[in-house]
Structure 1
Amino acid sequence: MAIFDDPLHETFAEWHLGFAPYGGGDVGELQALAAQIGPGDDAAFHEVFTRHADHLAAEAADAEAAGHRASARATYLRAAAYYGSAGRVLFGTPVDARLVDGFGRQSDAFARHLALLDAPAEPLAIPYESTHLPGWLVRNPRRPDAELPTVVVGGGWDSTCVDNYLGIGVATLERDYHIVLVDGPGQGKLLIEEGLPLRHDWEAVITPVVDHIVGIDGVDADRLVYQPWSLGGYMVVRVGAFEHRFAALVADPGQLSVGGKLVAGFRMMGLTPEQETHLPELDPDFADGAMQIIQSDRNLDWSLHKRAFWTNGASTLQELVTELSRWTLTPELLAQVTTPILVASAENDRASTDTDALFAGLPGPKTRMHFTAAEGADMHCEMLNRSLANRRFLDWIDDQVGA
């Protein structure tokens, strides 16, 4: 059952469907919003979703003022989720002022949600190069003062702390864990407000996070878990090759070569074997034709052109190819991964096409997990049955760190 006829808007709606068990939206709510938006009308999508998020934020404030703490907490979180989707249609450069404004509103709503938790979350400002990584320590609501295994929850190409909290964090807090939410360069605040792009050597981002949190009371430094998702399925393996203080790693979906999947897509666009021998240098005629194909497809234009150019600091397809050619895990790197790792994939997820190759190349302790269409979990990050994925991932994490 589709919410939107437009494929890009439907993709964004699927985020909310995945978040629904955790307070990020409901089907009827999305259907009502979709009825107000014309096919492919991104301006209307932004306006309608922002207006709805504003309404939710006001409703939450009224509930808080009236002493209805639980309703306020839940509604602030829902507002934050809708602010995020409203901004997603504006991705790209130059950065749209409406995106910056909406991100500020999202951050405020999320902070208000976290302040109303039974154990209010603690903001983090983790030193990173010349700036700080923004994040939160969210303690287990039933055992806030206990020393517990702690899951570092991260994102990928287009998620923020809010998305990661809804997609992973809320479910994790239902078990005996604390969580740390953090956005790195190319994500959230550092992307939208500071303009810092992603980097392939993600260990340079996560090692400062580990340095910072191991000294926090309640964080069990011997039972740390790193669980990002989406592009994080590459990042986590890269981190595992260099940062050995984690007790367990989760790659969803496991990815061996981001650049390799881009090249596979180029072959479908007509890249010849001769042209491929010159990569990462692109044939100019092929690049022009590929951009025409990309821009003619709503999802491709958003994911590769608007999103990937922006988050990777590229202004041309050539620059993107050059950057993503660095996003490959070599056998030498895989040999350095000694931490137990769960490698996941989904049946119809294009990001999962090299998951088997990744798993085969990992010499250390490893577990394979696959999600299928028969389970309704065959899409990227299992978004239409996210609760199934979380149950299975968390059972595995329980087995690794003894929670």
Structure 2
Amino acid sequence: MTAPPPETPDSAARGGGPGQWAIPRGLIVLLIAAATVVAITGAKAFAGVLGPVFLALMLAIAVQPIQQWMQRRGRPAWLGMLAALVTVYLILLGLVAAMAVSAAQLATSLPDYSDQFGDLLDQVQNLLARFGIDQERIDHALSGFDFGKLVELLEDLLRGLAGAFSNLLFVVTLLLFMVFDGMTIGRRIGVLRTMRPDIAEALGSFTAGTRKYLIVSTVFGLIVAVLDGVALWILAVPFPLLWALLSFITNYIPNIGFVIGLVPPALLALLDSGVPKMIWVIVVYCVFNVVVQSVIQPKYVGDAVGLSVTITFLSLVFWSWVLGALGALLAIPLTLLAKALLLDIDPSTRWMDVLIGERAPDRGRRAPAESPDPPG
């Protein structure tokens, strides 16, 4: 007589036999949904802390290859840490300083365009009156347009981007600790790979995908920034360097970054020189940015991170809602982190990569994940 197989938690949950305790599948779905809501609510409540932590993590991952390169050349670990730390500090402080100086210049110059804004409203009123629209309706429609509100809108936009780096002291301090830990992360991953290879593979996929995404976005961001800045300078649009910097930063925002970077220079061109120059700005941005950001860049980003266009857009919406402006900038890396911790970490859930990926992998093959660091 054959003895029945031993009861396992899995078989009990599935109700594998008479007398075994079973959890209804609907209850499992409800518990997962409730846990997800609690986790999202907590993340939103602590967005002021989580946002800078994720920013520091992304920057630390970005400069980690400097430490690896120094170690491969036989340099002391502390020297690699110092080189990576100086590099990331210069990048961070350079961006913050450039945004602060440009925003201050813009804030002091925008009030000079109040007369042009009034003239523009008068032209709109005359145009609407020619089409036989009642004056009362015109006044009611244009009553909400105020130059002060326009100034506040532009300032809020720049303040929101600068606010992504508002906890600068916290980010700088956290980067120091993360880069310091980077000196031994290679050995830790090596040990983890022998103990839990699935977790090591998931973390390796996350770090490799994040670095590829940052490299692709940075390269294309620089290309777009140079093209936009030169075009705006030729068109004599005020503050071309500011708008070039804005194009570079918004390039990290998937799908709608182009629109965010276009609106301020187009509005300023309208106030400075009228409708023809605004149209030229829109045309130039569409030619450069649409070709680069909508045709060329998505192919490289999709190959780098393995996420479909729909998933990237939903990631942007979700992380912007949870973490604000910083969530929009880090939407793709945050999604890669969530994917690594929730899907890639468990072989039984990796099949979902086929559904959310940019393209289906070859049947029976799985690309090997890159290690975040060589064991050292």
TM-score range, shorter chain: under 0.3
- The higher relative CO (CA closer than 8 Å, separation ≥ 6) is in 2
State the TM-score, normalizing by the size of structure 1.
0.25
State the TM-score, normalizing by the size of structure 2.
0.27
Question: Quick check: which one's helix share is greater?
Answer: 2
Which of structures 1 and 2 has the bigger CA Rg?
A: 2
